[in-house]
């Protein structure tokens, strides 16, 4: 996915501001299984997925709890590091060989101070991520596992072809056995 499409999906920038922002971005690639972000570390970059798939998770007692999947066009960001410059709580693992657009958080902060359009773009990025987090929280609190599974199929239809059922079950907050039952009911 082209970086200009990704940036404009967040907030449309004038050409001069978009060119300035893209000048600070570089492309990087990592193999499947690579740990892009680590819990208890301050992340100093913001990434956007050009091609590939990632998952965010946190370790719990004898298991990993997946709470987010990212694919083409999605930002990959430790909000705690980005906003507070503190250690994040998430691990982010690549589920496929993945190409990213990367920019340093320091460079972004400089752009925010110097260019109002880029500052507004950054505000919109944070707002969109907040809404995603809020929607996920509400779904976990008020929707059944079946409803959450149906939402996942509707919002990310190709996910089942790219992610293990174990990770999907963890994301839904259920066991793989329960996921199998739900899938059988829906067919």
CA distance 67 to 57: 6
* pLDDT recorded at residue 62: 83
Compute the average pLDDT of residues 1-29. 97
Residue 127, phi then psi, degrees to nearest 5: -60, -45
Q: Domain limits at 38?
A: 3-142
pLDDT at 158: 87
Residue range 31-58, pLDDT digits in tens: 999 999 999 999 999 999 999 999 999 9
- The total of structural domains in the chain comes to 1
Strand duo 45-51 + 53-60: pairing: unpaired
Q: Is the pLDDT of residue 61 over 90?
A: no
What is the CATH number for 79? Answer: 2.60.120.10
Cα 152 to Cα 8: distance, rounded to the nearest angstrom = 24
Residue 127 lies in a domain: yes
* Residue 160 maps to a domain: no
In a domain, 10, yes or no: yes
Query: Predicted confidence band at 182 (pLDDT cuts at 50, 70, 90)?
Result: very high
CA neighbor of 110 nearest in space, from 101, 102, 122, 100 = 122
What's the gap between Cα 3 and its chain centre? Answer: 16
Q: Are 37 and 43 in contact (CB under 8 A)?
A: yes
pTM for the predicted model, two decimal places: 0.94
């Amino acid at each position: 996915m082209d970086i200009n499409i990704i940036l404009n999906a967040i907030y449309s920038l004038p050409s001069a501001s978009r060119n300035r922002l893209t000048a600070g971005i570089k492309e990087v690639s990592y193999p499947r299984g690579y740990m892009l972000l680590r819990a208890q570390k301050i992340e100093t970059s913001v990434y956007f997925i050009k091609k590939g798939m990632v998952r965010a998770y946190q370790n719990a007692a004898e298991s990993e709890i997946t709470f987010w999947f990212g694919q083409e066009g999605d930002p990959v960001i430790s909000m705690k590091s980005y906003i507070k410059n503190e250690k994040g709580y998430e691990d982010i693992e690549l589920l496929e060989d993945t190409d990213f657009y990367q920019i340093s958080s320091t460079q972004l902060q400089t752009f925010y101070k110097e260019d109002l359009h880029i500052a507004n773009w950054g505000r919109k990025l944070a707002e969109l991520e907040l809404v995603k987090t809020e929607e996920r929280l509400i779904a976990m609190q008020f929707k059944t596992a079946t409803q959450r599974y149906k939402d996942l199929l509707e919002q990310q239809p190709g996910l089942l072809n790219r992610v293990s059922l174990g990770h999907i079950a963890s994301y839904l907050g259920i066991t793989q056995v329960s996921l199998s039952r739900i899938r059988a009911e829906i067919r």
